Amino acid sequence: MNYYSTNNTDQKVSLKDAVIKGLAPDNGLFMPERIEKFETSFFENIQNLTFQEIAFEVAKKFFGEDIPHQKLKEIVFDTLQFDCPLVKVTDSIYSLELFHGPTLAFKDVGARFMARLLQYFLGETKKQVNVLVATSGDTGSAVANGFQGVEGIE
């Protein structure tokens, strides 16, 4: 699948290029050119899936053409080594708590996933990259922790 810049929909790149570049050359964000729909059966059986299995099914809709399914499953399961419980707020409102990761920040999910995607694509090139994080909040520590110990990334 191709990914386009939010500042220029004509500017398209592969998933590998989007992950390695991070931002589009025009400073836009990369977005998938389409989002695949789920079959009704997915939602009818969702209660029988673990959080990690649900996340893997979602990831396949975005990245399944670009990463072999077994490798994508490894990336997702390695990313989500912690639970994100669904908590009832009211009878009709639920909240997915994303702050149960290693740094107690919702960014643990995205940072860990990004680190593993980057590792996958860098593994093909044998390049090493340095990730620099700076923040006054919890973003820096979550990103640093997400990339910590990931081969090919300092």
Q: What is the largest CA-CA distance in the chain?
A: 51
Active site residue 107: yes
- Out of 16, 37, 88, 107, the active site residue is 107
77: nearest Cα among 98, 102, 54: 54
Contact between residue 143 and residue 107 where contact means Cβ atoms under 8 Å apart: yes
Question: Read out DSSP for 52-75?
Answer: HHHHHHHHHHHHTTTS-HHHHHHH
Question: Catalytic residue numbers?
Answer: 107
